Amino acid sequence: MESMLKKIDLLNEIGIALSSEKNNQRVLEIILNGAKKLTDADGGSLYTVNENRQLVFEIVSTDSLGIVMGGTSGNKIDFPHLPLYIDGHENLSMVVTSAVINDETINIADAYHAEGFDFSGTREFDRQTGYRTRSILTVPMKNHEADIIGVLQLINSTNDVTGEVEVFSREDQKLAESLASQAAVALTNKRLIDEQKALFESFIKLIATAIDEKSPYTGGHCKRLPELTMMIAEACDHTDHGPLAEFVMAEKDRYELMIAGWLHDCGKVTTPEYVIDKATKLETIYDRIHTVDVRFEILKRDAKIKYLEAKLNAGNATDQIDLAKQSYKAEIEQYNADRDFLRQINIGGEYMTEDDQQRVHDIATYHWCDTDGKDSKFLSEDEIKNLCITRGTLTAEERQIINNHISVTIKMLEELPFPKHLKNVAEYAGGHHERMDGKGYPKGLTRDQMSWPARMMGIADIFEALTASDRPYKSGKTLTECLNILGKMKLDNHIDPDVFHVFVKDRVYLKYAREFLTADQIDEVDHAQIPGYQGN
């Protein structure tokens, strides 16, 4: 009775261990080792049923021979899978397959004298190792839905006093069956959790893919930013001095930040394509610079007509003809220069001077005859407004539409019922456009109001954007250019200074560059020349 109570306590302990263990291979080890201990078995195997209706060896263990394979042992199992059906017929020749097919526990007193099963493989194993297989207990593992998901097989119940091999008792069988039932439920729950996790992660990546398909200019960003964010986080986690010395990331923290990285721009699914994909300042459904080109051709045509008329009216007055020709040539050169200028600034860039903006207004004063023969302004107010955009290709209104994606992101994420281990996803993902001085958006948070991971993602977002080669209005910058810009942002209290210091000191930028940047972007960086950086 005392022995049985101890085994029941052990069974409860195993059940608790099964419910708390996260590692699938460790779960399998707990099942087999627990079953061996409950039944005093010397050896055993654990199989799972795969999609092809085969039994797969997961763990093999024999204490007296010192054999441990599978699980977390690092020793690979090379045994072939055992088919439940051969040529459409039930495979009843093996004990383990028969236990699954007939859904029954099989308790064999002596393998060498049992009938109805093929033990040739067992005999060969015994011959090679000097082992003697006697008692065998085979228990199908059936979950709460009555599905058999595996088999537990125990070998040679050994008397702990005499050391003799005995038959597995009825009590042993009941304990093994109880454990097998608990184990099947635990494995099924673990599998369901893993499948839900895989589905969740696939759905998240599906959103990034949807953004990718919607706009090739942001899809790469959605995939690269999580990688860079995790590189920065790992470097900060390894920092053992300074303000980040106490920053520690457990595995669950890494997973949470990775999920936030994938979701940080999910709100862009609502952003109109004409704004995301606006490659030039005059682009709408098409690039209106081509319409402006046509107007220049009309001006040039009219100039030529005026020149030819003047030449005709001058008769033989060569001086008047030369003067008209010079005037015509100057007009054509001016129109060509202005056309080339508008083409250039239409591309967009980091900065547009006031002189260039004034030149746009001067060009707008040209007049031309439209298709209705009416005298019209050369550039419309909307065209002037767009051509005078000082940075990039978006107007203030269009940039506000883009900026609104982060508010949508936060709204979407805050409405999701995230489990406890993902409760910070919305905060991490929603803070990458905030600034340390409180001048960011959408909430105007200051540095002290933001978590370390949110600050890390902010730097990752900026650096990825600077280095990206797939943006519609610019090419990817070199490492030196990017770090100079980041350094100025640090001095301007835009990004977190401590995270920036680690980013540079540990050369996180270089690790990312080697994986994602082109060779011409990876130049030699002089840390001493980076604004605001003080270190090696």
Domain containing residue 270: CATH number: 1.10.3210.10
Residue 45 lies in a domain: yes
Give the model confidence (pLDDT) of 204-217 as tens digits: 888 877 776 776 66
Phi, psi dihedrals of residue 388, rounded to the nearest 5°: -95, 10
132: exposed, middle or buried (Cβ count in 10 Å: 0-12, 13-18, 19+):
exposed
| Domain shared by 301 and 263, yes or no | no
Task: Look at residue 521 and tell me whether its pLDDT is greater than 70.
Answer: yes
| Domain shared by 419 and 323, yes or no | no
Give the range among 144-158, 163-177, 270-284, 403-417 with minimum mean pLDDT: 270-284
Sequence-distant (≥ 6) Cβ neighbours of residue 374 within 8 angstroms: none
Mean of pLDDT values over 437-466 = 95
Q: SS3 for 51? A: coil
Looking at 393, 427, 448, the residue that finishes a domain is 393
- Our CA angle for 134, 139, 141, nearest 5°, is 155
Residue with tokens 């401590």: 498
112: tokens are 């060498």
95: tokens are 């004990």
- Our CA angle for 462, 464, 470, nearest 5°, is 120
Given a contact cutoff of 8 angstroms between Cβ atoms, the answer to whether 455 and 430 are in contact is no
Average pLDDT, the chain: 90
Residue 82 lies in a domain: yes
Give the model confidence (pLDDT) of 207-266 as tens digits: 877 776 776 666 578 889 999 999 999 999 999 988 999 999 999 999 999 999 999 888
| Domain shared by 320 and 410, yes or no | no
| 532 confidence band (pLDDT: 50, 70, 90) | very high
449: tokens are 């109001």
| Domain shared by 300 and 333, yes or no | yes
| Domain shared by 43 and 168, yes or no | yes
Residue 534 lies in a domain: no
Nearest residue to 96 (alpha-carbon basis) of 54, 36, 43, 41: 54
- What pLDDT was estimated at residue 31? 87
Residue 508 lies in a domain: yes
Q: How far apart are CA 264 and CA 504, in angstroms?
A: 23
Q: How far apart are CA 265 and CA 403, in angstroms?
A: 11
Given a contact cutoff of 8 angstroms between Cβ atoms, the answer to whether 77 and 55 are in contact is no
Looking at 193, 228, 252, the residue that finishes a domain is 193
| Domain shared by 91 and 231, yes or no | no
* Domain ranges, residue 515: 215-274+397-529
| 1 confidence band (pLDDT: 50, 70, 90) | low
Give the model confidence (pLDDT) of 453-489 as tens digits: 999 999 999 999 899 876 655 678 999 999 999 999 9
| Domain shared by 220 and 235, yes or no | yes
Query: Looking at the 3D structure of the chain, how many domains does it have?
Result: 3
Residue 345 lies in a domain: yes
29: tokens are 């080890």
Q: How far apart are CA 182 and CA 8, in angstroms?
A: 13
| Domain shared by 18 and 148, yes or no | yes
- What pLDDT was estimated at residue 315? 85
Phi, psi dihedrals of residue 196, rounded to the nearest 5°: -65, -40
| Domain shared by 232 and 252, yes or no | yes
Asked, as a colleague might, if the bond just before 531 is cis with ω within 30 of 0, I would say no
DSSP strand pairing (367-369 vs 375-377): antiparallel
CB atoms within 10 A of CB 519: 8
Residue with tokens 């390894």: 238
Looking at 393, 413, 437, the residue that finishes a domain is 393
Q: How far apart are CA 294 and CA 300, in angstroms?
A: 10
